[in-house]
Amino acid sequence: GTPLRDLAAAKGVYMGTALMQNELTGTSGSIAAAQFDSVTPGNEMKWESVEPTRGTYNWGPADQIVAFAQAHDMQVRGHNLVWHSQLPNWLTSGSFSNGDLHAIMIKHVTDEVTHFKGEVVHWDVVNEPFNEDGTFRSDLWYNQLGSSYIADALTAAHAADPGAKLYINDYNIEGQNAKSNAMYNLVKSLKAQGVPIDGVGFQAHFILGQVPSDFKANLQRFADLGVDVAVTELDVRMQLPSDATKLQQQAADYTTVMNDCLGVSRCKGVTVWGFTDATSWVPSTFPGQGAATPYDENYQPKPAYTAIQTAL
Ligand code: XIL
């Protein structure tokens, strides 16, 4: 069949995958390059990866992924700049004044975006800022800097690479609920203040059979604010072991997500959070669950793969 990336391009969207440094060669590298035209580094651009020691940058693994993407004519989605998780110890265990923490954040955003200037098409600038009830997550950023850290991070990223598309990314905002309402209000207010915000990323870490029925309508309401939208970390997890019935339901779920994005003109693309069950984050994060991606552990396409292909 026609590779997903070619079908996506013909529809004016991208089809992406998360990829880790150890997946660039062999079967995984071949499939990634053949099927996908956007790459999100799974971990290699996170703060703990790029600055494990204060002031000492380790760009190597991320640079390798960027070089792989360039060699195969793929876009890079940078992930991520400001998040509560996967922070280096020096940052989480240090105690910094609010002013110092603000300067640390701005320097990190500026240095990382500058390093990848012209190489990253979309940046997840702020990741997971909200709690489920729509209040701001009480992480070090919000607790010490207040909600203005979001506008400040976006402004710094824009200054460092005016050409990059800047996103806020979160999970459980796919349907209309308290959390997505909070994101909606945040984006509306950022736009009103002239803060550089280009898009909202919907992670889309779904449970089998539980894609919200209002996903498309929710994407559209964000688009109507004047921002792009994207599905940034799609997977559909199930209780293991998988069976034919579950894999068919999973295919239906992937079809729904693809059609929801394709039905919204400002939806720029879909990224799966790993294309193979062999390396998916799901089994280690959700014990007993897995089989969440379009390829099985032996790198064979599943019904979900065919579903994506057919939707495109
Ligand atoms: C995950 C990675 O896939 C894992 O390898 C890592 O151990 C933890 O983080 N939301 C995000 C991603 O925004 O960065 C997370 O990635 C998955 C959930």
At 190, give phi and psi (nearest 5°): -60, -45
Q: What is the pLDDT of residues 155-172, one digit of tens each?
A: 999 999 999 999 999 999
Considering only CA atoms, which residue is closest to atom 3 of ligand 1?
281
Burial class (CB in 10 A: 0-12, 13-18, 19+), 139: middle
Contact 46, 79 (CB under 8 A): yes
pLDDT < 70: residue spans in the chain: none
pLDDT value for 257: 99
Annotated catalytic sites, by residue? 128, 233
Considering only CA atoms, which residue is closest to atom 9 of ligand 1?
43
Considering only CA atoms, which residue is closest to atom 16 of ligand 1?
42
Return all residues near 207 (Cβ < 8 A) that are at least 6 apart.
Answer: 236, 237, 238
ipTM: 0.99
pLDDT value for 186: 99
For residue 312, give the nearest of 250, 236, 261 by alpha carbon.
261
Percent of the chain with pLDDT over 90: 100
* Token pair recorded at residue 170: 């979160």
Residue 124 Cα: closest atom of ligand 1: 13
Cα(271) to centroid(ligand 1), Å: 13
pLDDT value for 253: 99
Cα(24) to centroid(ligand 1), Å: 18
pLDDT value for 262: 98
Considering only CA atoms, which residue is closest to atom 7 of ligand 1?
281
Give me the half-sphere count of Cα atoms (radius 13 Å) on the Cβ side of residue 218. Answer: 26
If one residue of 20, 40, 43, 237 were mutated to test the ligand 1 pocket, choosing by the most ligand atoms within 8 A of its CB, it would be: 43
Cα(194) to centroid(ligand 1), Å: 30
For residue 203, give the nearest of 305, 80, 294 by alpha carbon.
80
Q: What is the pLDDT of residues 126-152, one digit of tens each?
A: 999 999 999 999 999 999 999 999 999
pTM assigned to the model: 0.98
The alpha-helical segments, DSSP class H, found in 130-177 are 140-145, 148-160
pLDDT value for 304: 99
At 117, give phi and psi (nearest 5°): -55, 130
Give the number of other CB atoms < 10 A from CB of residue 169: 26
Residue 83 Cα: closest atom of ligand 1: 13
pLDDT value for 53: 97
pLDDT value for 120: 98
Residue 57 lies in domain: 4-311
Return all residues near 153 (Cβ < 8 A) that are at least 6 apart.
Answer: 81, 82, 105, 106, 109, 125, 126
Q: What is the CATH number of the domain that holds 156?
A: 3.20.20.80
pLDDT value for 283: 98
In angstroms, the Cα distances linking 165 to 16, 66, 83, 117, 121 are: 16, 17, 18, 11, 6
pLDDT value for 74: 98
Burial class (CB in 10 A: 0-12, 13-18, 19+), 278: middle
Strands 199-202 and 205-207: unpaired
If one residue of 285, 286, 293 were mutated to test the ligand 1 pocket, choosing by the most ligand atoms within 8 A of its CB, it would be: 285
Residue 46 Cα: closest atom of ligand 1: 14
Instruction: Give the span between the Cα atoms of 108 and 116, in whole angstroms.
Output: 12
Protein residues whose CB sits closer than 6 Å to any atom of ligand 1:
42-43, 127, 203, 233, 281
* Token pair recorded at residue 79: 């992930």
Q: What is the DSSP letter of 76?
A: E
pLDDT value for 185: 99
Contact 187, 225 (CB under 8 A): yes
Residue 20 Cα: closest atom of ligand 1: 5
Return all residues near 26 (Cβ < 8 A) that are at least 6 apart.
Answer: none
Give the number of other CB atoms < 10 A from CB of residue 245: 8
Cα(23) to centroid(ligand 1), Å: 16
* Token pair recorded at residue 153: 């991070």
pLDDT value for 249: 98
Cα(85) to centroid(ligand 1), Å: 9
Domain count, the chain: 1
If one residue of 233, 271, 277, 280 were mutated to test the ligand 1 pocket, choosing by the most ligand atoms within 8 A of its CB, it would be: 233
Cα(193) to centroid(ligand 1), Å: 31
* Token pair recorded at residue 128: 């997971």
Contact 212, 253 (CB under 8 A): no
